[in-house]
Amino acid sequence: MERKGVITFKGNPLTLVGPELKIGDTAPDFTVVDAGLQPKKLSDFKGQTIVISSVPSLDTPVCEIQTKKFNQEAANLNAKVLTISVDLPFAQKRFCDAFKIENVVVLSDYQNRNFGNAYGVWIKELALLARAVFVIVDGKIQYLEIVKEVTQEPNYKAALEKTGTARIPVGK
């Protein structure tokens, strides 16, 4: 399924591939890989509140800011924060080491876009993931934001409040 014009990159409309998920939907399972090239599934985190931070590439300024922000906030959450991109796991590890990213689990969707296609955030024209945030509680999507303009940051406060564990107030 393709959805045109849901997001833009520098004002230009893009096409997202995959379903349009909604709040209340059962969170689709997916398989990505960790830094050791081992498969990781959403179901591996069953029973936990999950924040999924989807980013196009960690090597870009907004993705760097987003990942650092969620890493900072994750220390104060009773939730597991997953950052997912299509960057190679080796590049993700370098990024995490360079910026001391220790509170989030960074995962790669480079092999088969299983996450991107299941969550409707695969950008057809760029072969990257859209910037998005999903909060999953008890296996259900409690919050989702697909950021309209890829070059802008998500609403951190709204997402973190849905975990029920964020310290308040949280910055944008």
What single letter denotes the amino acid at residue 118?
A
Is residue 170 domain-resident?
A: no
When pLDDT is cut at 50, 70 and 90, the band that residue 172 belongs to is: very low
Is residue 133 domain-resident?
A: yes
Catalytic site residue from 7, 14, 58, 63: 63
Angle at the Cα of 123 from the Cα atoms of 108 and 20, rounded to 5 degrees? 95
Contact call for residues 30 and 115 (beta carbons, < 8 A): yes
What single letter denotes the amino acid at residue 8?
T
What single letter denotes the amino acid at residue 171?
G
CATH number for the domain spanning 33: value is 3.40.30.10
Is residue 157 domain-resident?
A: yes
Is residue 22 domain-resident?
A: yes
Total domains, the chain:
1
Question: Shortest CA distance to 109 belongs to which of 92, 134, 133?
Answer: 92
Is residue 12 domain-resident?
A: yes
| Residue 50: domain span | 2-161
Q: Six-digit token pair at 58?
A: 């960690």
Whether the pLDDT of residue 40 is over 70: the answer is yes
Whether the pLDDT of residue 168 is over 50: the answer is no
- Specify whether 96 is catalytic: no
pTM of the predicted structure, to 2 decimals:
0.93
Contact call for residues 150 and 63 (beta carbons, < 8 A): no
Is residue 172 domain-resident?
A: no
Whether the pLDDT of residue 154 is over 90: the answer is yes
| pLDDT (tens digit per residue) in 83-129 | 999 999 999 999 999 999 999 999 999 999 999 999 999 999 999 99
| pLDDT of the residue at 165 | 63
| pLDDT (tens digit per residue) in 48-92 | 999 999 999 999 999 999 999 999 999 888 899 999 999 999 999
Q: How far apart are the first and last CA of the chain?
A: 32
Is residue 116 domain-resident?
A: yes
| pLDDT (tens digit per residue) in 4-39 | 989 999 999 999 999 999 999 999 999 999 999 999
DSSP sequence for 4-16: EEEEEETTEEEEE
